[in-house]
Amino acid sequence: MAETEAALRTLAHNVRAARTRAGLSLDELGRRAKVSKGALVGLERAQGNPNFATLVRLADTLGISVSALMEGPAEGRVRVVSADAVMPLWAGEKGGEARLMLTTSGPSPVEVWRWKLEPGEEYPSHPHQSGVVETVSVTAGEMVLVVDGIEHAVQAGQTATFDGDAPHTYRGSGAETCHLIMTVHIPPGPGSAN
In the chain, the amino acid numbered 69 is L
106-159 pLDDT, tens digit each? 778 899 999 999 999 999 998 988 999 999 999 999 999 999 999 999 999 999
Rounded to the nearest 10 degrees, the angle between the axes of helix 37-44 and helix 2-22 is: 120
9-66 pLDDT, tens digit each? 778 888 888 888 888 888 888 888 888 888 888 888 888 777 777 888 888 888 777 7
144-165 pLDDT, tens digit each? 999 999 999 999 999 999 999 9
Is pLDDT of 2 > 70? no
Contact present, 138 and 179 (Cβ < 8 Å): yes
Contact present, 37 and 26 (Cβ < 8 Å): yes
Rounded to an integer, what distance in angstroms lies between the CA atom of residue 87 and that of residue 12? 18
Rounded to an integer, what distance in angstroms lies between the CA atom of residue 159 and that of residue 142? 11
* Pairing assessment for the beta strands 90-91 and 97-103 based on DSSP bridges: antiparallel
- CB neighbour list of residue 179: distance below 8 Å, 6 or more residues apart: 114, 115, 116, 138, 139, 140, 141
Contact present, 37 and 28 (Cβ < 8 Å): no
**Which helix or strand (DSSP H or E) is residue 169 part of?**
strand 168-173
Residue 194 burial (CB < 10 Å; 0-12/13-18/19+)? Answer: exposed
